[in-house]
């Protein structure tokens, strides 16, 4: 007896293959969606974590900026206090400048030189006087330049010939001069003395 299968087995096979393909396709799409979702969530977590770090860094940077501003303000206040202290010390030291000036005038004035006036303005001093000769004026300039620790930068402004009446019929030829000098503050004198005392020691050490 011969059996003949009349069912459309080829069509059924194609349908089964199509269903299997569709199932595979759906599973692939679902799996791809899951993987994409996991990757997206991982990136979102990384971005969120980085944002948190950035926010923390921004907060700390702001704190540091505030501290830097406070330090800068303190430094400005300290500098202002030092400037005021230095100004007060200079004012106190400047009180003795006329005394030092008169002492130096007595010590450095050579014979044959006579002072007519001394005018002080801050640290600048204008000295006017009479000298028997130009050599006497030069000697005064040398003394002020080399031998005085309170007077610096002596400068001859002018020197002119003049006549001085000594008696009813006696006149003498003299030189009328004007000199400008600068007075040193006590702090400058102390610094110069310290530098001068340290110089020989430094030279010996270097040798």
Residue 122's domain is classified under what CATH number?
3.30.1360.100
With a cut of 80, say whether residue 170 has pLDDT above it: no
The reply to whether 54 and 143 lie within a common domain is no
Same domain, 82 and 105: no
pLDDT band for position 121 (50/70/90)? confident
Residues 30 and 109 in one domain: no
Least confident of 15-24, 73-82, 100-109, 150-159: 100-109
Do 120 and 70 sit in the same domain of this protein?
Answer: no
The residue-averaged pLDDT of 3-24 equals 74
Does some domain include residue 17?
no
Asked if 91 and 47 sit in the same domain, the reply is: yes
Q: How many domains does the chain have?
A: 2
The pTM of this model reads 0.49
Is 147 domain-assigned? yes
Q: Are residues 113 and 176 in the same domain?
A: yes
- Name the band, by pLDDT with cuts 50, 70 and 90, for residue 118: confident
Picking from 95, 117, 138, the residue at the C-terminal end of a domain is 95
| Domain carrying residue 84 | 22-95
> Does residue 124 sit in the same domain as residue 186?
yes
> Does position 189 have pLDDT exceeding 80, yes or no?
no
Same domain (yes/no): 103, 123: yes
Domain membership of residue 5 (yes or no) is no
Which of 45, 75, 95 is the C-terminal boundary of a domain? Answer: 95
Output the pLDDT for position 204.
45
The verdict on 90 and 61 lying in the same domain is yes
**Residue 16, in any domain of the structure:** no
Task: Give the per-residue pLDDT at 200.
Answer: 56
Do 158 and 135 fall within a single domain?
yes
In this predicted structure, the answer to whether residue 13 has a pLDDT above a threshold of 80 is no
pLDDT digits (tens, 9 = 90+) for 26-82: 899 999 999 999 999 999 888 988 988 898 999 999 989 888 988 888 888 898 888
Average per-residue pLDDT in the chain?
A: 81
Q: How many angstroms separate the CA atoms of 157 and 141, rounded? A: 11
Are 60 and 87 in the same domain? yes
């Amino acid at each position: 007896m011969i059996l003949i299968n009349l069912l459309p087995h080829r069509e059924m096979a194609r349908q089964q293959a199509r269903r299997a393909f569709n199932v595979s396709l759906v599973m692939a799409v679902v799996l791809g969606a899951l993987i994409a979702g996991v990757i997206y969530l991982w990136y979102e977590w990384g971005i969120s974590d980085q944002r948190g770090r950035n926010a923390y860094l921004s907060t700390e940077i702001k704190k540091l900026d505030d501290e830097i501003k406070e330090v800068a303000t303190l430094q400005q206040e300290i500098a202002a206090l030092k400037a005021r202290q230095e100004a007060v010390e200079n004012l106190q030291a400047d009180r003795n400048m006329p005394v030092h000036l008169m002492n130096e005038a007595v010590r450095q004035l050579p014979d044959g030189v006579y002072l007519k006036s001394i005018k002080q303005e801050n640290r600048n001093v204008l000295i006017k006087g009479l000298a028997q000769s130009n050599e006497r004026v030069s000697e005064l300039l040398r003394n002020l330049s080399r031998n005085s620790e309170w007077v610096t930068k002596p400068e001859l402004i002018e020197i002119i010939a003049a006549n001085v009446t000594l008696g009813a019929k006696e006149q003498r030829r003299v030189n009328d001069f004007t000199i400008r000098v600068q007075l040193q503050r006590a702090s400058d004198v102390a610094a110069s003395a310290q530098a001068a005392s340290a110089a020989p020691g430094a030279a010996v050490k270097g040798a």
